[in-house]
Amino acid sequence: MTVDAAFQEELQHLHEVTGRISAQLDRLRQKEQPAASGDPDEAETADIVAAQVVAATRAQLADALQRALQEPYFGRLDFAEGDQPIPERLYIGKRGILDPDSGDPIVIDWRAPVASMFYTFSGQQGQDRAGYMSPDGWVEGRIDRKRNIVIRQGKLQRVVDSYVRGEENLGVADEFLLYRLSEHRDHRLRDIVATIQAEQDRIIRADRNLAVVIQGVAGSGKTTVALHRLAYLLYQYADRMRPERMIIFAPNAMFVDYISEVLPELGVGGIQQTTFTRWALAKLGHQVRLRDPRERLARWFAVQPDPALAEAYRVLKYKGSPALREVLDQAVVEWTASAVPDVDFSPWAGEVLPAATIREWFYADYRHEPPLRRRDRVLARVKRWYETRIAEAEWSREEKAARRQQAANRYHAYASRWPDVTPWALYEALLRKDSAWTPNAAAAVPDWVAAYHRSLRGQGASGSRIRRAADTEAAAATGANQHKADRSRPALSAAGEARRPLVDAEDLAGILYLDVRLRGVRSDETFDHVVIDEAQDFSPLQIILLQQFCPQGSFTILGDLSQSIHSYQGIDDWEEFLRLFPAERRTFHKLDVSYRSTMEIIEFANQIAAGTPGFVPARPVFRSGEPVRVEPVAAEERYERAAAAVARLQAEHTTIAVICRSDAACDEYARALAASGIPAHRIGAGDEHYEGGVSVLPVYLAKGLEFDAVLMVDVDESSYTADPLSAKLLFVGCTRALHQLWLQYSGRPSPLLPAGVHPQAHPHMYGVGETGRPLSRTS
């Protein structure tokens, strides 16, 4: 079939399909009923509610059909089941569309099992057989054709056969991918349903109750794949998973904004998208406040790192470690072991509920409950116990009232003998090791951790107020068989704390873990699935904590160790996470092809990171673009030169980033751009929106984002020194660029730049002319 004939054939089909969709839409609109008038009675109200539900469903369908009119499908697979001579034409789109009369599919949802062949079938080595796992088992057949179809705003734009049975099929699939990759993007991440690659498809369709851990190089589609996986899970397990019970943890609020359009495009709404810090603070009911992270970020990422930070790194690593988890578990066991006051309860003289019985309730009857819930249940039972006694007694009404009053007073006194604890107070007692009550479990906390932790808080600023039990009142509540009051361990409470204590983000996992251990997780707090993006910056304790909220162990955990710029809190090896899951409940995937950037950019970036421990080079797809440009600029002209470079880039690109080494530098460059009449968005740590256009941002915030063109400024020997953190930062900055990468430096270039740009190695490359000289692999 000629290209033209194929185009005509698809034009005809598109016409037919849009006609059928429009007819469905018309029918839906005709069914819209006028709103009822007047005051409805009860039966009418029920009818109205039912009608509203139907109307909402119809509105959803109408919305889906309306969207489908713009781009009903993107692919066609001619599949002959078994040995059928005539194949069926399967059109694959973002949403499945059925013929309302016959029930036949007009368009097949990309997530349907049969559609998986569109992604996994390559037709290599003359292989024309393919299969998929249907609900009724494995189905096999023959593929006659695989076709990519581009439709925009309802108009057919491109038809490419990436496989035709019996013909030579070399590289056409790649050609279509390249066509999609070379497109300019707007300022948000997009769906990739038309070009999902086989290795990505495997991850997207991985089983539900697995921890899927992905190590993927920069630009390998990790974030995109995770979002598609959510859409897949919701489709495939519609009866068992709900969007509002799924959560995506993103590295910062702006990233949440950046990825916010993919799921709606895939027809999925209602999934929570947040940062770990935000979520944990909300979970703790804002019992604690977060110290302003900006000052710390500035210290971590300072051009000349503070040597004292090494100690801080060590402590923060400990705060995210499984070793701390053991301490926390032990502390809860300890607290639980002495939670029941060693006194009987006597509601009135002569009546006693022995301490031994109460202990039995706590340690035997309710042993499966977390300790604070147990405490509440036991106290409620104590109350019920004396109320039953009163109810069953043959006393006068007045007498009963008097007893009830007395019992209530004694009950309050008794209840106050039960130790109270807040997760924060317990955490603080464990990590400081110098509080009036220090649990035995604290012995396992290294002294250097405690010393550092104390120095952070300042000696007087501890939030762990420790109070003695209200002994006087309690004494009145103890009965004849009074045991020695348990004074050895006073209760912990943050009650009365005038100000909420200040903590660092790295403390949140430990504090919330204690909360969970003490209080438990309610079933309505649990998740059906958890996605963790940039997971290399998560700690094992954060994962352990999230496991408590995700009982099915359904996780997608993705990241890139080469981009672990927050190494003080993250991991060095995925094994640290993998070992937290049983072997049969986890899978590990590696993605090493980078789809984002051109070959030139990837090869350049690979050389920068080559020396960092554990670095995995990215493999580019064969997409060639502009050479990477490395330009020396005179120090006093650097702002003007940056503005000139941005102006040049604007001629060809939509989203452009000026990436600086520090926040202070960002301010300077943003000012310079403004002075040159270039409106730019200065992105800072607290920002929640990514606007597109020209952005100026510090390199530590660039992770996860992408831009058509990137200008990295001040890439000199003092801003990016020869150390792993600088190498990772420079690598992250460079790999943000899709189509063009431009670097400027004053003085001497960073030693991290590929050898070709060093004056020593290639003197002719140095001292380039006014506009700089392109560096290409051939130059």
Ligand X SMILES: Nc1ncnc2c1ncn2[C@@H]1O[C@H](COP(=O)(O)OP(=O)(O)OP(=O)(O)O)[C@@H](O)[C@H]1O
Task: Supply the minimum distance, in Å, between the C-beta of residue 200 and ligand X.
Answer: 6
Task: Supply the minimum distance, in Å, between the C-beta of residue 180 and ligand X.
Answer: 5
The torsion angles phi and psi of 641, rounded to 5 degrees, stand at -65, -35
Cβ distance to ligand X smaller for residue 121 or 414: 121
Task: Supply the minimum distance, in Å, between the C-beta of residue 743 and ligand X.
Answer: 18
Does position 197 interact with ligand X (CB under 6 A)? The reply is yes
Question: Any binding-site annotation on 223?
Answer: yes
Task: Supply the minimum distance, in Å, between the C-beta of residue 727 and ligand X.
Answer: 15
CA dist 166 and 256 (Å) reads 46
Question: Any binding-site annotation on 721?
Answer: no
Residue from 578, 576, 522 nearest 553 by CA: 578
Task: Supply the minimum distance, in Å, between the C-beta of residue 538 and ligand X.
Answer: 14
Span near ligand X by CB under 6 A; candidates 155-163, 211-219, 279-287, 771-779 = 211-219
Cβ distance to ligand X smaller for residue 224 or 435: 224
Please report which helix (H) or strand (E) contains residue 7, including its range: helix 3-31
CA distances from 737 to 25, 82, 117, 383 (A): 42, 46, 32, 66
- Looking at residue 501, its amino acid is P
Does position 223 interact with ligand X (CB under 6 A)? The reply is yes
Among 287, 321, 556, 735, binds ligand X (CB under 6 A): 735
CA distances from 501 to 37, 331, 435 (A): 55, 21, 16
Task: Supply the minimum distance, in Å, between the C-beta of residue 741 and ligand X.
Answer: 14
The torsion angles phi and psi of 144, rounded to 5 degrees, stand at -100, -30
Continuous H helices in 191-292: 198-204, 222-236, 253-258, 262-265, 276-283
- Rg over CA atoms, the chain: 32
Span near ligand X by CB under 6 A; candidates 175-183, 353-361, 521-529, 567-575 = 175-183
CA dist 317 and 314 (Å) reads 5
Question: Any binding-site annotation on 216?
Answer: yes
CB 71 within 8 A of CB 152: yes
Q: Euclidean distance between the first and final Cα of the chain, in Å?
A: 43
Residue span 745-764 as binding mask against ligand X, x where in contact by CB under 6 A, dash where not: --------------------
What angle separates helix 309-319 from helix 322-337, to the nearest 10 degrees? 50
Among 374, 410, 586, 596, binds ligand X (CB under 6 A): 596
Span near ligand X by CB under 6 A; candidates 139-147, 149-157, 185-193, 351-359 = 185-193
Q: Which structure tokens are listed for 284?
A: 């703790």
Cα 4 → chain centroid: 45
Among 218, 312, 561, 630, binds ligand X (CB under 6 A): 218
The torsion angles phi and psi of 113, rounded to 5 degrees, stand at -55, -40
Residue span 432-471 as binding mask against ligand X, x where in contact by CB under 6 A, dash where not: ----------------------------------------
Task: Supply the minimum distance, in Å, between the C-beta of residue 656 and ligand X.
Answer: 16
Span near ligand X by CB under 6 A; candidates 136-144, 218-226, 372-380, 544-552 = 218-226
| Long-range contacts of the stretch 639-643 (C-beta < 8 A, 24+) | 639/668, 639/669, 639/671, 639/672, 640/672, 640/676, 641/744, 642/669, 642/672, 642/673, 642/711, 642/713, 642/744, 643/672, 643/673, 643/675, 643/676, 643/678
Q: Which residue has the tokens 């990477």?
A: 628
Task: Supply the minimum distance, in Å, between the C-beta of residue 526 and ligand X.
Answer: 27
CA distances from 190 to 127, 187, 659 (A): 32, 9, 23
Q: Which structure tokens are listed for 615?
A: 């670095």
DSSP 137-153: EEEEEEEEEEEEEEEET
Q: Percent helix, strand and coil across the chain, each rounded to 5?
A: 45, 20, 35
Cα 639 → chain centroid: 36
Span near ligand X by CB under 6 A; candidates 7-15, 24-32, 142-150, 188-196 = 188-196
Does position 224 interact with ligand X (CB under 6 A)? The reply is yes
Among 162, 195, 346, 564, binds ligand X (CB under 6 A): 195
CB 301 within 8 A of CB 700: yes
Question: Any binding-site annotation on 646?
Answer: no
Cβ distance to ligand X smaller for residue 221 or 243: 221
CB 199 within 8 A of CB 225: no
Among 196, 415, 531, 702, binds ligand X (CB under 6 A): 196
Task: Supply the minimum distance, in Å, between the C-beta of residue 583 and ligand X.
Answer: 26
576-595 binders of ligand X (CB under 6 A): 595
List strand residue ranges (DSSP E) for 349-478, in order: 351-353, 466-467
Span near ligand X by CB under 6 A; candidates 221-229, 274-282, 647-655, 760-768 = 221-229
Span near ligand X by CB under 6 A; candidates 6-14, 68-76, 196-204, 352-360 = 196-204
| Long-range contacts of the stretch 2-9 (C-beta < 8 A, 24+) | 3/159, 6/147, 6/159, 6/161, 7/156, 7/159
Does position 90 interact with ligand X (CB under 6 A)? The reply is no
Span near ligand X by CB under 6 A; candidates 31-39, 190-198, 422-430, 462-470 = 190-198
List strand residue ranges (DSSP E) for 429-585, in order: 466-467, 491-492, 502-503, 529-532, 555-559
* Residue facing ligand X at closest CB distance: 221
Among 162, 200, 478, 554, binds ligand X (CB under 6 A): 200
Cβ distance to ligand X smaller for residue 407 or 601: 601
Cβ distance to ligand X smaller for residue 427 or 574: 574
Q: Which residue has the tokens 């991985």?
A: 206
Task: Supply the minimum distance, in Å, between the C-beta of residue 205 and ligand X.
Answer: 14
Among 219, 347, 501, 570, binds ligand X (CB under 6 A): 219
Question: Any binding-site annotation on 103?
Answer: no
Cβ distance to ligand X smaller for residue 201 or 428: 201
534-563 binders of ligand X (CB under 6 A): 560, 563
Residue span 36-75 as binding mask against ligand X, x where in contact by CB under 6 A, dash where not: ----------------------------------------
Span near ligand X by CB under 6 A; candidates 16-24, 212-220, 340-348, 617-625 = 212-220
How many Cβ atoms from other residues are within 10 Å of residue 773's Cβ?
18
Among 31, 152, 190, 299, binds ligand X (CB under 6 A): 190
Please report which helix (H) or strand (E) contains residue 661, including its range: none
Does position 731 interact with ligand X (CB under 6 A)? The reply is no
Among 216, 267, 439, 570, binds ligand X (CB under 6 A): 216
Q: How many residues bind ligand X, per CB under 6 A?
A: 25
695-714 binders of ligand X (CB under 6 A): 704, 706
CA dist 473 and 256 (Å) reads 52
Span near ligand X by CB under 6 A; candidates 27-35, 215-223, 448-456, 739-747 = 215-223
Q: Which structure tokens are listed for 618?
A: 């990215």
Question: Any binding-site annotation on 219?
Answer: yes
CA dist 12 and 15 (Å) reads 5
Question: Any binding-site annotation on 470?
Answer: no
Task: Supply the minimum distance, in Å, between the C-beta of residue 560 and ligand X.
Answer: 5
Q: DSSP letter at 443? A: G
How many Cβ atoms from other residues are within 10 Å of residue 487's Cβ?
10
Does position 158 interact with ligand X (CB under 6 A)? The reply is no
Does position 428 interact with ligand X (CB under 6 A)? The reply is no
Q: DSSP letter at 32? A: P
Q: Which structure tokens are listed for 62?
A: 């109408």
Residue from 287, 676, 718 nearest 493 by CA: 287
Task: Supply the minimum distance, in Å, between the C-beta of residue 570 and ligand X.
Answer: 14
Contacts with ligand X by CB under 6 A lie at 177, 180-181, 189-190, 192, 195-197, 200, 216, 218-224, 560, 563, 595-596, 704, 706, 735
Q: Which residues are annotated as a binding site for ATP?
A: 216-223
